[in-house]
Amino acid sequence: MTPFNFNTSPSIRFGPGLLDQLGDIVKNEIGTRVLLVTDPGMMATGIVDRALAALNSAGVVVTLYQDVKADPPENVVTFCADAAVDSGAQGVVGLGGGSSLDVAKLAALLATGNQTLKDAYGVGNAKAPRLPLILVPTTSGTGSEVTPISIVTTGESEKMGVVSPVILPDIALLDPELTLGLPPHITAATGIDAMVHAIEAFASASPNNNPISRNLATEALRLMGAALETAVHTGADLSARSDMLLGSMMAGQAFANSPVAAVHALAYPLGGHFHVPHGLSNALVLPYVLRFNAEVAPEPYARMAPFAFPELGRIENEQERAMAFCESMAALSKRCGLQQTLREMDIPRDVLPRLASDAMNQTRLLVNNPRELTEADALNIYEAAW
């Protein structure tokens, strides 16, 4: 066994209704002044009001930053960090989807005044100390509550990441009741996104791919493969929602240590240029990247297949089982009601070469792909997905 590192959030708390304990948790773990980071969509759900009530009842003074945008630009991050400084916050709570959690991580980092956002970009460049940090996910998708990664949109369409164990939160608070109101399409897109995290973590060519990540990835696929359609079509099923939230978290732990690859590299330009939500971007390119990889590296996909789709365990031939896994993921996406082609997203065919060129800039991801991918390969994948 080769040496590896595995880092994750030091405290993970899971349970229905846990949000109502947020005030006591914050008071015990952070103090009496906190910045709550969320987005306008969350404000309309009533969940933020519940969080505020819990915090206020515990005597915690809250400053609310509610202006997080999807694919957050740099100015949102800096405004949020300024809010933490101006309010004298002793810590940060992120509440919402991946964008809110990512912004909360960076606000906690930058509020100490130890470095600028520009200096933190890249792998291992974030410097301690940061403010204490609690993350509360309301979707079952990004796994951001257990990842040392925050993605920021720079310029018009490019994305850059801050990757460091320093921004792992102190507490990940998982309350599946917070996901009950997710609409079917968002449930589907975020769920496929989480499954992509598990798939790419298991198959990653990273030298830090490790047995802990692989076991987390397969357990995540087992949970989510069985629960996703129920969560999409019967949204009030708390058991399915619980399995999706736990599976998403496990997939986050897996890819935080065994990084993702070409699916994400090809998805990012779709979000950057056309504002396709990240989970849907992954779903659109997933079948085609999987088929490309499985042609020459079928082993990891054949091994994963029966966890997500138990019936595939009956296929003895490795190549056939790997390809069946690719087709089963595509079929699952379709059954969940997600768009299946780039043209359905009004992406013109003549921009595909630009997308392929941009995807090649994601070198930190492409190095983890189990099959080398060239710009011509990327273009072929986009053409197939169009």
Tell me, yes or no, whether 1 lies in a domain: no
pLDDT tier at 158, thresholds 50, 70, 90 = confident
Q: Which amino acid, one-letter code, is at 225?
A: G
pLDDT at 154: 87
127 & 229 share domain: no
Report the predicted TM-score, pTM, of the whole model to 2 decimal places: 0.94
Torsion 314-320-322-327 (CA) sign: negative
> 310-338 pLDDT, tens per residue?
999 999 999 999 999 999 999 999 999 99
Tell me, yes or no, whether 258 lies in a domain: yes
Which domain CATH number covers 377?
A: 1.20.1090.10
Question: Which of 179, 211, 238 is a domain's end point?
Answer: 179
> 274-311 pLDDT, tens per residue?
989 989 999 999 999 999 999 999 999 999 999 999 99
Question: Which of 140, 159, 179 is a domain's end point?
Answer: 179
113 & 25 share domain: yes
> 167-219 pLDDT, tens per residue?
999 999 999 999 999 999 999 999 999 999 999 999 999 999 999 999 999 99
Please choose, from the candidates 299, 297, 269, 295, the residue with its C-alpha nearest in 3D space to the C-alpha of residue 284. 269
Q: Number of C-alpha atoms within 13 angstroms, CB side, residue 316?
A: 0
293 & 310 share domain: yes
pLDDT at 70: 87
26 & 114 share domain: yes
> 46-64 pLDDT, tens per residue?
999 999 999 999 999 999 9
276 & 137 share domain: no
Tell me, yes or no, whether 162 lies in a domain: yes
Which domain CATH number covers 52?
A: 3.40.50.1970
**Pairing outcome for strands 149-154 and 133-137:** unpaired
CA gap 288, 385 in Å, rounded? 7
324 & 203 share domain: yes
CA gap 35, 317 in Å, rounded? 54
Distance of CA 7 to the CA centre of its chain: 16
Whole-number average pLDDT of the chain: 96
How many structural domains comprise the chain? 2
Tell me, yes or no, whether 2 lies in a domain: no
307 & 351 share domain: yes
Burial class of residue 348, CB neighbours in 10 A (0-12, 13-18, 19+): exposed
207 & 221 share domain: yes
Tell me, yes or no, whether 281 lies in a domain: yes
pLDDT at 272: 85
**Domain containing 193: what range?**
184-385
194 & 116 share domain: no
Question: Which of 132, 157, 179 is a domain's end point?
Answer: 179
200 & 277 share domain: yes
> 105-157 pLDDT, tens per residue?
999 999 999 999 999 999 999 998 999 999 999 999 999 999 999 999 887 76
56 & 155 share domain: yes
85 & 200 share domain: no
